[in-house]
Structure 1
């Protein structure tokens, strides 16, 4: 039976704005308060999805969240009509309104952790929505994320869904941004690689001093238990706390893996040699041949990696066994990074080609190609059980492009977030989107 890695990209929401909400994310903080272009952001993301579909890769779409999140503002004491809630929040606590308008759900690498059926005890694909409790604006996402994923992967014979972990610091979970899976074939048993920034209960692990370590070891272990993973099919590794303090807020900012290959920066991890040996040994036991590509700091500094998002790229397997790297335009603009990539692809190694995409709107808010997609390994039967409305096709691309052109603003500033009309625009757009994607009622305004 054939198997595939399907990339489900986040569709950028109508309230895409530069709120500067993510402390530790250099791009997010650097571009705070600038005016954004939601329409351009959504179209850039859709263009990437369509391009990968045209290249023969399996591609899906993950819907955005309802924003502003009026229910979240009500839980914080704002009352009245929806318009009055927004008006009061803008007047009394603008940072809370900005947080409630965040379109950060576009970065669906944080939506959940996914384990394919070949790895799990019950032979189903398992999803655990990430609690994202390190940042308030993201911590409010997981209830809707769970409903959307449930509507996409509804067949209980093939798919199992878990609620987010307890929303406390000890179980900080950032989803697939700190999770990679290695395997020989997507439908075969593999090794799941969980990367954490700190331990909540064991002080033997060093912690960063400047920026928060968002993912805990304990959260990673809990997800592995929920998914029924075998001990011999799991490897845990710690991020280098020094690189977290340089703006590497998730592992996918400093490393990316796919198939049997890990592409990583020399300074990405602690105890790197031990980790690589464990990955190699465990993958060999299930017939795989683990390989790694280390980018030396002498060629690309951590600062270069953070500013260009070299590692927040998509590493894709092609039929001939070679690898294709999807990178943002910022990699081409960075002389050292581009020189390294040219050398890498001309060396005849594992990564043979680099394709560049313009994702400026997302990049300015701190998310690149890898942030925009959630990877789900599926066999033929499981893929057939996915809601067909979310699988990218030429007609769907046309429908979504027309939908964006119809509903999205081409400029959004912080003051625009206080406009109650924005909420109505968002709800109107999302109501239509659920019909396009055949999701049913997944948003609070559709349910309540």
Structure 2
């Protein structure tokens, strides 16, 4: 892991607040190369006042999870955080002196300062691990959009990429523009997370309104990718263009697409988890984009007539059975499951509505077998059977590839993407989306192995 060197520390004078109590406070702050804020607090002489501070910090675990820290510099820069926590709290004593020792961290903090000389208002997110060559550029109704990342991405946790939205001209209402630009940025981070197959997060957000620079720092653990990018880092411009367009002109009006993408791009150390993540992404897409009535086999009132008859019959047949009371008690929930459409049915229903090309993927029994494999993993905790003739004997990776490909196609259609992407089989190949009508799985691959 690359060791991050902090920039020079800057001294602040302000106050520290725990609950309803406030103390004057001095501290120093620096940002390191990974976007993390580092704090230096000089030893504090132990007095009656600082003893009260020590007791208040001791009590954080019993009440408030965070304390607040505010500070200013002589040149007008400000630090503000309501999300401070204690890393270390101790004392150092000699025969003549006693000091309180503190080390802090923050999960969210804001630095503001005056900054001139910028051309137009902008927001900029600093990224870790995003790859693209060359840099990506597009126009949106909100302004010029740029996304950049080193290729290959440097090892370690250093910030190495950015996503920036620059206003075309000075907006009449900056706060409204900012809110809209932030929504666009979050949308693009989600879309490019699919392309990279890695959940991308803005670790530092810079916002300039024409006079004041605001930097907001977020604590995020390092997020590794799945190792299977969907769009090659050197071919992401067309997908980026599509993602920008889809924000203002979504082709199918998909709901909360970012949830499914986050599941899809989630890091997993085991193949079983990769399958569960892809399946969960599809469950999420179906449940959010189909109405409750569409996810049921029969209308609720008609099914309730059948359910009542089933309950009556079960009571009559199980009067003398062992554990009959427990059986009858469990019936309502179990019978409700009978009226729910299967995941396969919901995938087909939503795919037909959106026009997702799935014919080449659904030849044979790949989908039901993959769903059975998911159920086996969830219910018993392992996948492979010693015998070779079981329904689950197929290589688990075959199921993962199929389900991830289905997720990719749903997202492509939701964004209106048409272009090149990566297909994973015996080798990694470039393929065209949408696939040719009547093709078999993998037939759409048009380029050489990558």
Give the TM-score band, short-chain normalised: under 0.3
TM-score, scaled relative to structure 1: 0.24
TM-score, scaled relative to structure 2: 0.24
Structure showing greater radius of gyration is 2
Relative contact order, CA 8 A, sep 6+: which one is greater?
Answer: 1
- More helix, by proportion: 1
- More strand, by proportion: 2
